[in-house]
Structure 1
Amino acid sequence: MDRSAQPLAGKVAVVTGGGTGIGEACVRRLAEQGATVGVLGRRRELVERVAAQCGGFALVADAGNEADMQRAMATVTERHGRLDMLIASAGGFGQSACMETSVEDWRKAFDANLNTAFISAREALPLLIPQRGTIVFVASIAALAAGPQVCGYTTFKHALIGLSRSLARDYGPLGVRSNVVCPGWVRTPMADEEMQPLMAQHGLSLDEAYAMVTGDVPLKRPADPAEIAEVCVFLASPAASIVTGAVLTADGGSTIVDVPTLAFTR
């Protein structure tokens, strides 16, 4: 194959939450560009399937567990001796309003959306620093604005931006870049589940539910996971060599909409 078609040949990446959704799409895109990818996740059957299909290697681990991540990074070191890119895509808990959120659920939201990112980054940095490597955090437009009844998710996705900026400031002098991608609605298994109450309430099909939630989005559709993966891989790649501490929205334009003026379009 033409090496120019594989700009990441020789690079080693790890994707947390790599067995499904946006994480899986990132694994596939990295592999297409020539990287060797560690597919990290808790569900063995998923990470092993994706790793086998993409010529990568499975890392069965909880990204929010310190010991698991230390073992995962030891495996990367033993097998490849380097790490060039970390895409932290694990997350997804915290769907309730403040008064309906127990302390236990608050901690689960913290673990799923922020602690996974913090521990993954901390354990990856000793390998990333020698390579002047990159970190990409997959957040959400919930990192920029608040949806209804998603207190934990919103809070800890907001915090991801602070984490990324702190890493960019502290480790930029060592050549490490850190950025955040904020997707809007993306057609993933998790988002499909979130459509179920809307479908039941209004008697909609899955496609109709997605059309409803993106009705006020300028592009009028949700993203495909592969579209978000393109953005993540761009930020992780040398093509974005001067970009660090950035927050890149990939939301079809939803966050540019002036909500009070929507009445004029109806």
Structure 2
Amino acid sequence: MDLDLTGKSALVLAGSKGLGRAVATQLVSEGADVIITSSSQANLEDAVRSIQTEVNCDADRIGYRVCDLSKSESIEMGIEDAIDELGGLDILITNHGGPLTKTFSETTLDDFDNTYNEVLRSTIQVCQLALPYLQDSGGSITNLVAASTLEPNVSGSIANVIRPGIYGLSKTLANEYGSEGVRVNCVSPRGIFTDRIEYKIDVLADKEDITIKEAKERREAEVPLTRLGSPEEFAQAVTFIASPAAGFVTGSILHVDGGWSQGAF
């Protein structure tokens, strides 16, 4: 299938590692010109070199901007500079780091405030900055939000409160800007084998006094497909939803979780 991404411009937040980096790599491989952001210049430089080597693309196909999602000024400068370098914008992929894992009784108001700024407020601000350009291009916004947000657990009190706002934002923008050709969707990962999942497996093994292999098998047993997904599989799904090939899909949530989500619909 031709995703019609050749020559399209894309901006991927938190794109230097993990799922963001995988998505950026897939977009470049499909022909898009991509800029990734992160608060770490060293991580960005490493990611750009890696993507250039993996995709075997010209240097001007993948670039970066330093952008700290906890700081409004950094977001404004980084996003505007990135869009200016791209010469417009067709695709926005929002992404963020994982919030602290705490129960409600362990969580402070500062924890909630910091996560609101880094996760929800930053997403709102980036969308505000990008929308005029996406209106011009008839482009798309794809928000990456962990599937666990849909089935909250006790230790995820911060994420349970903050992340659902991104679903509400997505539906609101899909309804408001659909008549102008802008599509807005969420893609929700779970059980994708990244460094973060590997860390959680290590923690589980230590907590339960079991081997890493046994801890990994427990995570796999939670998934109907009985395996963990790869970042490449996730990136392919995101790239499709963000592309013109999914031109009649908006206001939706795509679960990329091996069947983990247990809702009927």
TM-score of the two chains, using structure 2 as the length reference? 0.90
Do residues 221 (structure 1) and 227 (structure 2) align? yes
Any conservation in 1 of the 2:10–2:90 contact (CA below 8 Å)?
A: yes
In the alignment, which residue of structure 2 is the partner of 1:9? Answer: 6
Alignment of 1:113-262 (within 5 A): 113-256=119-262
**Superposition deviation, residue 193 in structure 1:** 2.1
In the alignment, which residue of structure 1 is the partner of 2:89? Answer: 83
Q: Distance in 2 between matches of 1:150 and 1:166?
A: 25
Secondary structure of the residue that 2:113 maps to in structure 1? helix
In the alignment, which residue of structure 2 is the partner of 1:47? Answer: 44
Which contiguous aligned blocks of 4+ residues in structure 1 show a shift greater than 6 angstroms? none
Q: Distance in 1 between matches of 2:198 and 2:222?
A: 19
Q: Distance in 2 between matches of 1:133 and 1:257?
A: 30
**Structure 1: runs of 5+ lacking an equivalent:** 259-266
Any conservation in 1 of the 2:75–2:122 contact (CA below 8 Å)?
A: no
Deviations 1:199-257 (A, max 9, x none): 11233444432221231321112211111111111110011001000011111111127
Q: Which has the higher contact order (CA 8 A, sep 6+)?
A: 2
Q: Percent identity?
A: 28
Corresponding letter in the other structure for 2:12? V
Any conservation in 2 of the 1:214–1:222 contact (CA below 8 Å)?
A: yes
In the alignment, which residue of structure 1 is the partner of 2:62? Answer: 56
Secondary structure of the residue that 2:127 maps to in structure 1? helix
**Superposition deviation, residue 96 in structure 1:** 0.7
Any conservation in 1 of the 2:3–2:243 contact (CA below 8 Å)?
A: no
Corresponding letter in the other structure for 1:114? L
Deviations 1:3-49 (A, max 9, x none): x8673111110000100010000000000001111011111111122
Aligned length: 255
Q: Distance in 2 between matches of 1:158 and 1:252?
A: 21
**Structure 2: runs of 5+ lacking an equivalent:** 53-60
- Which residue among 22, 40, 50 is the counterpart of 2:19? 22
Q: Distance in 2 between matches of 1:56 and 1:223?
A: 25
**Superposition deviation, residue 112 in structure 1:** 2.9
Deviations 1:33-91 (A, max 9, x none): 01111011111111122223334111111134322222123323432321000111213
Any conservation in 2 of the 1:217–1:254 contact (CA below 8 Å)?
A: yes
Taking structure 1 as reference, are residues 186 and 99 closer, same or farther at Cα in structure 2, changes over 3 Å only? Answer: same
In the alignment, which residue of structure 2 is the partner of 1:70? Answer: 76
Secondary structure of the residue that 2:163 maps to in structure 1? helix
Any conservation in 2 of the 1:217–1:257 contact (CA below 8 Å)?
A: no
Taking structure 1 as reference, are residues 34 and 207 closer, same or farther at Cα in structure 2, changes over 3 Å only? Answer: farther
Q: Distance in 2 between matches of 1:169 and 1:79?
A: 29
Secondary structure of the residue that 1:57 maps to in structure 2? strand
Any conservation in 2 of the 1:94–1:108 contact (CA below 8 Å)?
A: no
Taking structure 1 as reference, are residues 99 and 187 closer, same or farther at Cα in structure 2, changes over 3 Å only? Answer: same
TM-score of the two chains, using structure 1 as the length reference? 0.89
Taking structure 1 as reference, are residues 194 and 16 closer, same or farther at Cα in structure 2, changes over 3 Å only? Answer: same
